[in-house]
Chains A and B, each alone.
Chain A
Amino acid sequence: MAEQIVFGFAAASTLVSAVLVITLRQPFRATVALIGALLSVAVLFLLLAAPFVAVIQVIVYAGAIVVLFLFVIAYLGERPVAEIGDRLGRYQVFAWLAVIGLAIQGVVVLATTQLPGVREDPRAVDDIGSPEAIGRSFIDTYIVPFEATSLALLVAAVGAVLLAKRAVRAEGGR
């Protein structure tokens, strides 16, 4: 019973934070709302027997990525931000249509799915969320995606340096 209560709070907090992320106009406030959404999803990860992923979510997402966002927002400073303008107004109805269509599809799929046990209490699971199990899975089965990930990180680092360099040169400085 306790698990259902925690799930209810975490799910509600996730969705409320997500609504705030996409409705708040100031980037700083939206980023703080994103922290709420990320921490709520971390709680959901804990309920899903994934403690390692939850910890990484807090450290990498709520830590590193959000700090990067806040740093850039502080660097840019408060300035008038572009908002939903007149030119995009007539396309906004298509955005709503797409989202509503997808929502209907999702509800239909979840209501009619035939997966066994998807609506019952979950079965007990083995040790799938510990660092050891995930590490073994990474090294044994998914060594190629692991290396591809490190390559992606390298490319991103080099790309960020090149972007910064080009921006400085375009400014006519240094």
Chain B
Amino acid sequence: MTETVEGVPLVLYLAVSGALFLLGLLGVMIRRNPLLMLLAIELLLNSANLALVGFSRYWNVSDGHVFALVVMVVAATEVVIGLGLVVAVFRQRLALDVDELSRLKG
């Protein structure tokens, strides 16, 4: 398999990944609702996955795929803990606002 294929160059995938990362970063920084922040963190993790898989294709190795899968598992654990915290805050009748939740002991 040495012939060239018609395709999309890596730099475009990296551009999409970078744009996705910036949008996620903006979402994390301007939102105060922890649920919306968790959604924006999903965008960040997906942009990292896109870059990993893109470079995996570029270097013709499976390593990027492996780490993309690891990132997905980490995302799942992060969502479980994050949503657990959201539910715990909600049951204490507190506002869902990360600014109000600045103290750990309460």
Which residues of chain B from 21 to 52 have any CB-CB distance to chain A below 8 Å in the complex? Answer: 21-27, 29-33, 35-36, 38-40, 42-43, 46, 49-50
Which interface class (under 10, 10 to 19, 20 to 34, 35 or more) fits A? 35 or more
19 contacts between A and B (CB under 8 A): A1-B6, A15-B19, A22-B39, A44-B13, A44-B50, A48-B53, A48-B54, A68-B79, A69-B38, A76-B86, A82-B96, A85-B32, A95-B29, A110-B15, A122-B5, A124-B3, A141-B63, A159-B84, A163-B85
- CB of B30 within 8 A of CB of A92, answer yes
- On whether A22 and B31 interact (CB within 8 A), knowing A27-B36, A81-B96, A133-B62, the answer reads yes
- CB of A170 within 8 A of CB of B91, answer yes
Pairs A-B, 6 closest by C-beta atoms: A22-B27, A156-B77, A82-B97, A95-B29, A167-B88, A163-B84
* A residues at B contact (CB < 8 Å): 1, 3-4, 7, 11, 14-15, 18-19, 21-22, 27, 30-31, 34, 37-38, 41, 44-45, 47-50, 52-53, 56-57, 60-61, 64-65, 68-69, 72-73, 75-76, 79, 81-85, 87-88, 92, 95-96, 98-99, 102-103, 106, 110, 113, 115, 117-126, 128-129, 133-134, 136-138, 141-142, 145-146, 149, 152-153, 155-157, 159-160, 163-164, 166-168, 170-171
- In the assembled complex, the Cα of A156 lies from the Cα of B53 at a distance in Å of 26
- On whether A125 and B80 interact (CB within 8 A), knowing A44-B50, A99-B25, the answer reads no
Cross-chain pair count, CB within 8 angstroms: 278
- CB of A126 within 8 A of CB of B1, answer yes
- In the assembled complex, the Cα of A45 lies from the Cα of B66 at a distance in Å of 13
- In the assembled complex, the Cα of A27 lies from the Cα of B30 at a distance in Å of 15
- Secondary structure call for the A interface: helix
Instruction: Known pairs A15-B20, A121-B6, A149-B73; list 14 more (Cβ under 8 Å).
Output: A18-B20, A19-B23, A22-B23, A30-B35, A34-B43, A50-B53, A50-B65, A84-B32, A115-B10, A122-B9, A124-B2, A128-B56, A145-B67, A170-B91
- On whether A44 and B72 interact (CB within 8 A), knowing A7-B8, A98-B29, A125-B57, the answer reads no
